[in-house]
Chain A
Amino acid sequence: MGMAAAEWKFHVLAVDDSLVDRKLIERLLQKSSCQVTTVDSGYKALEFLGLRQGIESNDPTALSPSPQEVEVNLIITDYCMPGMTGYDLLKKLKESAAFKSIPVVIMSSENVPARISRCLEEGAEEFFLKPVRLADLNNLKPHMMKTKLKNQKLEEIEKPSNGTAAVEPEIKNPTEMEIKILPLPSELEPKQVHLQEVQVQQEELALSNNKRKTMEEGLSTARPRPRLEGIATAV
């Protein structure tokens, strides 16, 4: 199954109340050949997706999509936001029949294990420590592929709860993705590829991979990338 084609352009909705971070995530996603929409709050995110309260149902707390559905392949959101946190947004999405299948990634500047497990348990696919790097976004392609394929009415390959189980036949070992450059329409130039490889080597491959939720392995291996104030931590 080939993945390198113009039609595989993913649309990502990025949510962050910080203008600097919105600018950054937008550029990162563009560099990863994604179409990007940025909003500054969870409310705006729901609005964009077309979720309205109580329009078509008697239950005022039910959310249903508006007629103009926008295809979104992934939602990446900051955790700490005023009003609706990233966690609140995640919950709302997972409670919505229409949008619970969209993979959600949480970003946070703080490494709080309890927070991370709570998000992963609620159904977040990944938890990234800020600042997010280009290498982190390479991990997202398989997640986005799922919704792309689903939307094209192909059989769903994997359920979200299966953690690191391979999605695509090509991706056998998640660790390999850290060092292999995926054959996707990427705008990465050779020097950036080198930069990523250097970064990955410096940060220890296994640790990046440990961000994944693994139901089988339990949360002990689901450690976030240890970007602790410039101190390089070893496993």
Chain B
Amino acid sequence: MDAHVAQLQMQYRNYILSLYQQGFLDDQFTELKSLQDDGSPDFVAEVLSLFFDDCVKLVGNMARALDQTGTVDFCQVGANVHQLKGSSSSVGAKRVKGLCINFKELCEAKNYEGCVRCLQQVDIEYKTLKAKLQDMFNLEKQIVQAGGIVPQVDIN
């Protein structure tokens, strides 16, 4: 059982490191993990859940705002981008945040085609991140079920 736990822990470490290396996560995610403790053992999962709810809501708002026959309210789109940028920044969702920065510029330039394309990318990106983090949580669960402790991963 120990060998199995060790293997899972190694897998987990490598997975987390790859998420940082591939730019999915930044040091704000590290900060989130550091705020989790025995008193708040599900803090990271809870915040991420709120974040992904936000993504669904805001992407929906933006899709509606961009799906107008006639004039598109770029201010409205921009306001939603601003909110998404804020929450992605708060959870360490680096790629989503990066896309929001581009998106904001596209809104300011009133670039319709650009906005539509960017929104599609945002949609893909947050869903990809969600799947990756789900895999991460699943690994954590496996480790605990195998009798092990989820390791602290030092990304420096």
Cβ contacts under 8 Å, B87 to chain A: 18, 20-21
On whether the beta carbons of B50 and A109 are closer than 8 Å, the reply is no
Given contacts A20-B90, A23-B46, contact A109 B85 (CB under 8 A): yes
Cβ contacts under 8 Å, B128 to chain A: none
- Is B113 in the interface zone, CB < 8 Å from A? no
Contact of B28 among A23, A28, A131, A187 (CB under 8 A): A131
- Among residues of A, the one whose C-beta sits closest to the C-beta of B97 is A229
On whether the beta carbons of A131 and B34 are closer than 8 Å, the reply is no
Closest approach, in angstroms, between the C-beta of A106 and any C-beta of chain B?
15
On whether the beta carbons of B89 and A130 are closer than 8 Å, the reply is yes
On whether the beta carbons of B47 and A20 are closer than 8 Å, the reply is yes
Cβ contacts under 8 Å, B90 to chain A: 18, 20-21, 24, 130-131
Q: How many residues of B contact A (CB 8 A)?
A: 32
Contact of B37 among A21, A80, A189, A195 (CB under 8 A): A189
Contact of B101 among A20, A80, A229 (CB under 8 A): A229
Interface flags for B28-61 (1: CB within 8 Å of A; 0: not) read 1011101101011001001100110110000000
Q: How far is the CA of A191 from the CA of B98 in the complex (A)?
A: 29
On whether the beta carbons of A20 and B43 are closer than 8 Å, the reply is no
Cβ contacts under 8 Å, B97 to chain A: 229
- Among residues of A, the one whose C-beta sits closest to the C-beta of B89 is A131
Given contacts A131-B90, A230-B26, A230-B94, contact A187 B85 (CB under 8 A): no
On whether the beta carbons of B54 and A130 are closer than 8 Å, the reply is no
Cβ contacts under 8 Å, A80 to chain B: 82
* 48-91 of chain B: CB within 8 A of chain A: 50-51, 53-54, 82-83, 85-87, 89-91
For the residues of B in contact with A, the DSSP-based class is helix
Cβ contacts under 8 Å, A133 to chain B: 31
On whether the beta carbons of B89 and A23 are closer than 8 Å, the reply is no
Cβ contacts under 8 Å, A98 to chain B: none
- Is B14 in the interface zone, CB < 8 Å from A? no
Cβ contacts under 8 Å, A130 to chain B: 86, 89-90
Cβ contacts under 8 Å, B89 to chain A: 109, 130-131
Closest approach, in angstroms, between the C-beta of B56 and any C-beta of chain A?
13
- Among residues of A, the one whose C-beta sits closest to the C-beta of B156 is A198
- Among residues of B, the one whose C-beta sits closest to the C-beta of A78 is B86
On whether the beta carbons of A20 and B91 are closer than 8 Å, the reply is yes
Cβ contacts under 8 Å, A230 to chain B: 26, 94
Given contacts A27-B43, A109-B85, A130-B89, contact A20 B31 (CB under 8 A): no
- Is A19 in the interface zone, CB < 8 Å from B? yes
Contact of B34 among A23, A109, A192 (CB under 8 A): A192
Q: Which residue of B31, B97, B98, B156 has the most chain A CB atoms within 10 A of its CB atom?
A: B31
List 9 A–B pairs whose Cβ atoms lie within 8 Å, in order of A's numbering: A20-B54, A20-B87, A23-B47, A23-B50, A27-B35, A134-B35, A189-B37, A195-B34, A198-B156
The 9 closest A-B pairs by CB, nearest first: A20-B87, A131-B90, A109-B86, A27-B35, A20-B50, A131-B28, A192-B34, A20-B51, A19-B50
